[in-house]
Amino acid sequence: MSPQKLSSFSFLFLLKVLIFLLHSTSSASTAGDFPNSSLKRFIISVRRPAAVSHEKSREWHESLLSQLTAAVVNSAAGDTPSAIPRLLHSYTNLLSGFSARLSADELNTISKMDWFINAIPDPVYKLHTTHSPEFLGLLHSPAGAWNDSKQGEGIIIGLLDSGITANHPSFSDQGVPPPPPKWKGKCTFPKPLCNNKLIGAQSFIFGEPDGTPPDDHDGDGHGTHTASTAAGTAVSKAASFGNAAGTAVGMAPRAHIAAYRVCTDDACYDACYGSNILAGMDAAIHDRVDVLSISLGGDADLDFYQDPMAISAFTATSIGIFVSVSAGNDGPEKGTVTNAAPWMLTVGASTMDRRIAADVRFKGESLNQIHDSPARNPIPLVFPGINGDEKPAACSNGSLAGFDVRGKVVVCLRGVNGRVEKGEVVKAAGGAAMILMNTNTAGYTTIADGHVLPASHVSHEDGIKIVEYINTTETATASISFRGTEFRSPFSPSVGDFSSRGPGTASPGILKPDITGPGVSVLAAWHELDPANKKPTFKVLSGTSMSCPHLSGIAALLKAAHMLKGAPRDWSPAAIKSALLTTADVVDRSGKPISDEKRKPADFYALGAGHVNPEKAMNPGLVYDLKKEDYFPYFCGLGYDETLISVIVDREVNCSVVGSIMEAELNYPSFSVELGVGERVVLNRTLTNVGLGSQRYWAEIEPPKGVVVKVVPKRLTFKKLKQEKKFRIVLKRSEEGLEMAKGYLKWVSQSHLVRSPILITSK
């Protein structure tokens, strides 16, 4: 068979939707309310009269609603469960308004009131479902980031997630001092379970037993995993299926954790409602967290004023809370990134240099290494998709009926159903082992999953060779050998195939994702007990849900370090983001440009500014800073109505007073501009000195192909800390050519390198 035929075979599957199933709770339903209810959920912004105080706003919201809904409440037949109140949450810290369950008529009446500003449908978000500290260079250096930051001591990381398993050893408070006096949060767990590590635990889900949370407060496990990645206490001999063993420890092991439960896997309430996220964020602001870690995402197409996550994160950011969010698992198609507002840090996912080896004749991966299996020695090998049928190719449930897979090694293609489910289907049909083969789209990203039978996950290239071998051999056989955990894999880090790609829909002129961090096969705490010995467990998961808390923990280290040193103690969220972006790595461990799932150099829509380098981020030299008011002309430039801008910024904005700028003119640490041939754009930027007191920088340019770049002035001299200097960058496209041209602007001094990606797209 010719190679052309093989690639057209795989192309068939490239066209199909690639489903990246993290685990069963990734629900993306758009249901407006509970089953059988005639009501829908809305988030209503209102103008609070001066006579109503901040403290009285809840009473005021209740009175507004009760007048309007009194007539309808009694006749709301079929409205289950009736325990859910009409007023869901009343917001005080991050916007003036409330969320409520309303009928179409009620909404219509409300929209005519003079206190009404606007209403948005309550969107549903989904969860974007430890070796990493070493991989990031945090261990083995007495003088490094962990020492400078005292491992995040004194910093509070809030997580909006599915809850937390309080009694897991990853949340032991051994060696963790009490929370700082500013802390105003609370813990709804029975007392002994909260401690100096886990200082807050609250639920924002209606219908849960009041005050007495369920025994298992994270029925999903997701929130336990993300919290331990951000700030888990070191636990030695942590492992999943005996592999990836070692010490499991979070990025900021001495930071405090506050868990805000906004998602649940309960069958009746399975959703992460925007209204709950707003309520969780409202509480986190009240409680005085320093960093928010949010591994959830919604519809990539929402404008910022329709997106409760973006609205609430804006208020959080403007009072100094750093917000780190996951980019989504909908890659590698372009334009799939979620949470792409410029005030948040949007985190993509990349691989580490660890491989949990399960080798066929090729290099593959499997977490569950089953040594005692017939597949140790060569046994018959089959591919149910050999005739080009999609379902048997994917080993989807019920599709193997016509195939004799008993006692054989079965090749299954990724997509259609979950990766672990494929193994369950093969096992149920009597198969002895599985080779999980990547689609063309997934390329070289392989993942260590806990498969139920001997299995090996192989790249597309290797999979094609295996299929070719089956197709040309009378009695094809295969064996799988398990080699345990191996380090120093080539092409690490590389961007995971599933990691969502830019540009963001709401503001394509801001380069997103911002950065990548470890998000493939990450070991962290898990909510289930080991059935054999009833001990707490750890689990390996993959997703941008896993990379986001890495960055949250590193942001906590930055905050802690600059708090201890005293000097630039008040780094803003934008300054911290700039530090992370301008110091990120752009080459992998072998010195080559960081690659994507195809082993091609990753483009900026996959990689953002690069892969996080926590050591370097501690000391960036210069930062591109932003304050709340800097976003006002940006919103005007997006063409938003002034009323909608006021919903986001919680204050009146007059565009003819504040003016209007292009997206690329925001003082952002990266550049993304669309230019036609001959077109030219001039962008102003301001740099702030956070390095040595006095230092000289010069501009070095790696121009994108076909683009002429000029920087004025080419040298900047800073005399003292916090001093600001302005410069202009002129970008002119000289020739037709690349759809995406990439380059860098680097400000270089004797001790610092401040690098910004420049992405030029064609019109």
61, 217, 222, 225: which is the annotated catalytic residue?
Answer: 222
* Cβ atoms within 10 Å, residue 702: 13
Nearer to ligand NAG, 164 or 420 (CB): 420
Nearest CA to 594 out of 499, 460, 522 is that of: 499
The verdict on 654 binding ligand NAG (CB under 6 A) reads: yes
The verdict on 143 binding ligand NAG (CB under 6 A) reads: yes
Helix (H) or strand (E) holding 277: helix 274-287
The verdict on 3 binding ligand NAG (CB under 6 A) reads: no
User: What is the closest distance, in whole angstroms, from the C-beta atom of residue 424 to ligand NAG in the complex?
Assistant: 4
The verdict on 139 binding ligand NAG (CB under 6 A) reads: no
Cβ 233 vs Cβ 558: under 8 Å: no
- Catalytic annotation present for 562: no
Nearer to ligand NAG, 142 or 402 (CB): 142
User: What is the closest distance, in whole angstroms, from the C-beta atom of residue 16 to ligand NAG in the complex?
Assistant: 15
The verdict on 7 binding ligand NAG (CB under 6 A) reads: no
Instruction: Pick the stretch among 3-11, 664-672, 679-687, 703-711 that binds ligand NAG (CB under 6 A).
Output: 3-11
Nearest CA to 274 out of 537, 451, 44 is that of: 44
* Cβ atoms within 10 Å, residue 348: 32
The verdict on 325 binding ligand NAG (CB under 6 A) reads: no
The verdict on 12 binding ligand NAG (CB under 6 A) reads: no
Strands 671-675, 753-762: pairing is parallel
Contacts of 755 (CB under 8 A, 6+ apart): 582, 583, 584, 586, 609, 744, 745, 746
The verdict on 740 binding ligand NAG (CB under 6 A) reads: no
The verdict on 660 binding ligand NAG (CB under 6 A) reads: no
Nearer to ligand NAG, 24 or 30 (CB): 24
Distance between CA 491 and CA 594 in Å, rounded?
Answer: 7
Nearest CA to 696 out of 669, 728, 670, 723 is that of: 723
For ligand NAG (CB under 6 A), the number of binding residues is 22
Distance between CA 36 and CA 268 in Å, rounded?
Answer: 11
Among 83, 656, 720, 750, binds ligand NAG (CB under 6 A): 656
79, 122, 148, 161: which is the annotated catalytic residue?
Answer: 161
Query: Within positions 46 to 85, which residues make up the interface with ligand NAG, using CB under 6 A?
Result: 80
Q: Provide φ and ψ at 392, rounded to 5°.
A: -65, -30
Residue 22 DSSP SS3: coil
Nearer to ligand NAG, 471 or 717 (CB): 471
Residue 724 DSSP SS3: strand
Q: Provide φ and ψ at 714, rounded to 5°.
A: -85, -10
User: What is the closest distance, in whole angstroms, from the C-beta atom of residue 753 to ligand NAG in the complex?
Assistant: 22
Q: Provide φ and ψ at 674, rounded to 5°.
A: -95, 125
| Radius of gyration in angstroms for the set of CA atoms belonging to the chain, rounded to a whole number | 26
User: What is the closest distance, in whole angstroms, from the C-beta atom of residue 634 to ligand NAG in the complex?
Assistant: 18
Instruction: Pick the stretch among 4-12, 159-167, 173-181, 293-301 that binds ligand NAG (CB under 6 A).
Output: 4-12
Among 5, 600, 680, 719, binds ligand NAG (CB under 6 A): 5
37, 324, 545, 672: which is the annotated catalytic residue?
Answer: 545
User: What is the closest distance, in whole angstroms, from the C-beta atom of residue 662 to ligand NAG in the complex?
Assistant: 21
The verdict on 386 binding ligand NAG (CB under 6 A) reads: yes
- Catalytic annotation present for 749: no
The verdict on 424 binding ligand NAG (CB under 6 A) reads: yes
User: What is the closest distance, in whole angstroms, from the C-beta atom of residue 693 to ligand NAG in the complex?
Assistant: 20
Distance between CA 285 and CA 279 in Å, rounded?
Answer: 10
Distance between CA 241 and CA 449 in Å, rounded?
Answer: 10
The verdict on 397 binding ligand NAG (CB under 6 A) reads: yes
Distance between CA 445 and CA 523 in Å, rounded?
Answer: 17
Nearest CA to 124 out of 17, 223, 25 is that of: 25
User: What is the closest distance, in whole angstroms, from the C-beta atom of residue 675 to ligand NAG in the complex?
Assistant: 32
| DSSP code for 140 | S
Strands 433-437, 97-102: pairing is unpaired
| DSSP code for 473 | -
Nearer to ligand NAG, 252 or 283 (CB): 252
Distance between CA 281 and CA 304 in Å, rounded?
Answer: 16
The verdict on 467 binding ligand NAG (CB under 6 A) reads: yes
Alpha helices in 608-684 (DSSP H): 614-617, 631-637, 642-649, 655-658
Nearer to ligand NAG, 6 or 239 (CB): 6
Cβ 582 vs Cβ 697: under 8 Å: no
Among 421, 449, 630, 663, binds ligand NAG (CB under 6 A): 421
The verdict on 266 binding ligand NAG (CB under 6 A) reads: no
Instruction: Pick the stretch among 295-303, 418-426, 518-526, 721-729 that binds ligand NAG (CB under 6 A).
Output: 418-426
- Catalytic annotation present for 161: yes
Query: Within positions 503 to 542, which residues make up the interface with ligand NAG, using CB under 6 A?
Result: none
Q: Which residue has the tokens 């969502």?
A: 500
Residues near ligand NAG (CB under 6 A) are: 1, 5-6, 9, 35-36, 80, 142-143, 147-148, 386, 397, 421, 424-425, 467, 471, 564, 654, 656-657
Active site residues: 161, 222, 545
